[in-house]
Homo-oligomer: A and B are copies of this chain.
Amino acid sequence: MRDVAQHAGVSISTVSHVVNNSRAVSSEARSRVLAAMKALGYKPNALAQNLRRQQTFSIGMIVPDSANPFFAEVARGIEDTSFEQNHSVILCNTDGDVDKQAAHTDLLIKNQVAGILFVAAGISTELVEDLQARQVPLVVVDREVPDVAVDTVLTNHRQGGCQATQHLIDLGHRRIACVSGGSDLSPSAERLTGYQMKLQESGIPFDETLVVKGDFQYASGYRAARQLLSLAEPPTAVFACNDLMAVGVISAATEMGLRVPEELSVVGFDDVRLASFTNPPLTTIAQPKYDIGVIATKMLLARARNLAAPPRVEQLETELIIRGSTAPLS
């Protein structure tokens, strides 16, 4: 900047004023400054700007695994929205490791980020309170933190569980299995609750041999299906709590000589891109992944503008996407 001022023959503050349009500058001086800037390829040092202004334009995004297609889609929503609002996003993967999460959070704070997005993170009540005490804007995505008021964006997982199950019931199925996720996570538990609710509503007795626990990975869906289909009285339909497990179910069924959907209906959850490409294409419950990212980012930036506003919780709806993996009970 000093260089530009010298080159243009004006004071350093004049340069600053034309850069920031912060006040009137004679058109002659302005054009000289502009010329000097161009000649020197000047770009203001954002570090200095931010230090002085006591604000930054970057936000931290903490996710378990940005390569997981679900989070990848959420992350795109976040990055696109941040870009629109002139913010950069700092990518942090935790792999579910609390220490890694803490290390990332620490670094983000030191870098004075404008806010932090915790996506499906193992975030504790204490951490939230600590950050709030530090005046760090944050929003938590896809998790509920007990005993503390904090901006949150959630999907209505229970509704999704209901839709999946109701769809199968509507097709005439009564023996409906469920491959659940880790039961300690609220989204997973909610999906299962939706399943149970709809069963009950339709007067179908709950049979616990028909729910088997998975871990959201392909292999666990495969394993669960082999187990379920070996039952004396096997299910005619299965609701898998995510798409990856659903694909595992289809593979196992196919391998055991069952045709999908004619002999076994399968519905997944999430509607990742992969779901359209399986054979048959997967009927599933769509979460508004991209929108989750968009909304969370907007919420964070709003929070950064007003730390005192009352916390908000936004709940998004799921949608049943009917493709080729479900059919009427024959």
What are the 3 A-B residue pairs with the smallest beta carbon separation, nearest first? A279-B279, A46-B110, A67-B72
A254-B279 contact, Cβ under 8 Å, with A45-B112, A79-B91: yes
Instruction: Give complex CA distance A114, B107 in Å.
Output: 16
Number of copies of this chain that the complex holds: 2
Chain B residues lying within 8 Å of A200, measured Cβ to Cβ, are none
Interface residues of A (CB under 8 A from B): 41, 43-48, 50-51, 56, 58, 61, 65-67, 69, 72-73, 75-76, 79-80, 83, 88-93, 100, 103-104, 106-112, 130, 134, 218, 244, 247-248, 250-251, 254, 274, 276-279
Question: Chain B's nearest CB lies how many Å from the CB of A155?
Answer: 18
Instruction: Contacts A90-B91, A279-B254 given; indicate if A76 touches B66 (C-beta within 8 A).
Output: yes
User: Given the complex of chains A and B, what is the CA–CA distance between A107 and B44 in angstroms?
Assistant: 10
State whether A276 and B91 are in contact (beta carbons under 8 Å apart), knowing that A45-B51, A47-B51 are contacts in the complex: no
Contacts known (A51-B51, A66-B79, A90-B88); A43 close to B109, Cβ less than 8 A = yes
The reply to whether B47 and A56 form a contact with Cβ atoms under 8 Å apart is yes
Tell me how far the C-beta of A37 lies from the nearest C-beta in chain B, rounded to whole angstroms.
Answer: 13
Q: Which residues of B contact A107 (CB under 8 A)?
A: 46, 88
| Minimal beta-carbon separation of A255 from chain B (angstroms) | 10
- Report if A65-B76 is in contact (Cβ < 8 Å); known contacts: A47-B50, A274-B277, A279-B279: yes
